Amino acid sequence: MGMDQIVYTVADHGPWLVVALLTLNLGQRRHLEHGERKRLATLYLSLLALGIFSAAQLILLYDWPSALLLLAVAGVVVVAMTNHAYVFPFRLRCRTCEVRLGIKRIIFYDSNRCASCERADGEPADTPPATPTPPTPPGGR
Ligand SMILES: [Zn+2]
């Protein structure tokens, strides 16, 4: 698949990704009291997706070189990585016991803990969001 084709594909299907993320974002509104950070995260993700989609549209509109899309993607990746805690607060495993989290816990709960760990601590549902965990050093576990 050539770069031109990739630009066309992104320009054609990009809106669906944005719509899907915003639809998910609407669903997250019912979980505001324990999922505010994750709701914001899908909003940020949809903005980043919109950025890449808009770049593809501009490239087609002004007949710019297709390789410029790589620049847009690189820019979005840099933004996402420097704001990792805000853009991607999702974890697949419980912060406390490492058990795999269900899809609802992953998408709707900021705590990133399983239901039984939260019950065990008797935390109220409106616990303030935990501060983002620092990244683990490379090589360490
Ligand atoms: Zn747990």
Residue 122's pLDDT band, with cuts at 50, 70 and 90, is: confident
Which residues surround the ion ligand 1 when the cut-off is CB under 5 Å? 94, 96-97, 114, 117
Do residue 7 and residue 61 come from a single domain? yes
Ligand 1 centroid from CA 139, angstroms? 24
Number of domains within the chain: 2
Residue 42 lies in a domain: yes
Ligand 1 centre distance from Cα of residue 47 (Å): 32
Spatial separation of the C-alpha atoms in residues 104 and 99, rounded to whole Å: 14
Do residues 52 and 76 touch, judged by C-beta distance below 8 A? Answer: yes
- Tell me how far the alpha carbon of residue 24 lies from the centroid of ligand 1, in angstroms: 24
- For residue 52, name the pLDDT band (cuts at 50, 70, 90): very high
Per-residue pLDDT at 69 exceeds 70:
yes
The residue-averaged pLDDT of 130-140 equals 62
Q: Are residues 60 and 74 in the same domain?
A: yes
Q: Are residues 29 and 61 in the same domain?
A: yes
Alpha carbon of 7 to ligand 1 centroid (Å)? 42
- Contact call for residues 52 and 13 (beta carbons, < 8 A): no
Same-domain check for residues 61 and 115: no
**Do 63 and 79 reside in the same domain of the chain?**
yes
pTM of full prediction above 0.85: no
3-state class (DSSP) for residue 131? coil
Question: What range does the domain containing 98 cover?
Answer: 90-125
> Using 50, 70 and 90 to split pLDDT, how confident is the model at 133?
low
- Domain-embedded: residue 12: yes
